[in-house]
Amino acid sequence: MKAHDNLCLIRSGQDWSDTEASERQLYLDDVEPVLREGMDFLRDDGLAIGCYANRYMRVLAVDGSVSEKSYGQSWWKSLAALERWAESHPTHVRIFGAAMKYLSTLGPSARLRLYHEVTVAAADEQFFEYLNCHQKTGMLAAVETTGA
């Protein structure tokens, strides 16, 4: 892959650390599995729709234990490609539907925190370096490589 203008990075986070037991269970049972399915699709098959790389991660606490926070981070060919997925792809439609059902069930008492950070970069603002990594690491999955 050669650098091109309008490469898009999105980081979408979930924080359920302030939820009470029943709300936490509702998120973990009804929303998180649908979110994970969508993140797995982007990781495994996203290239066909313009997602160069995707990782879904859990945040670790200072002591190394798993926290009640996660985020997905993905690189997209463009903001337009990301928006197309968000608007109409079945995986995101299911994520959005599960989140809306969750939020409509709880209303203003919901304690789950969600966020999105989006960056669009010009070609000359991009630099990726991978040392001793397999050929499908991160953005390398979007690069056509030739044997050395």
**Spatial separation of the C-alpha atoms in residues 140 and 22, rounded to whole Å:** 41
**Spatial separation of the C-alpha atoms in residues 53 and 107, rounded to whole Å:** 34
Please provide residue 78's backbone torsions phi and psi, each rounded to the nearest 5 degrees.
-165, 165
- Residue 93 structure tokens: 């439609």
Is residue 76 within 8 A of residue 10, CB to CB? The reply is yes
Residue of 4, 89, 92, 116 marked catalytic:
116
Half-sphere exposure of 95 (CA within 13 A, CB side): 21
Residue 116 among the catalytic residues:
yes
Neighbours of 20 (CB within 10 A): 9
Secondary structure (3-state) at 38: helix
Tokens 């968000």 belong to which residue?
A: 86
Catalytic machinery residues: 116
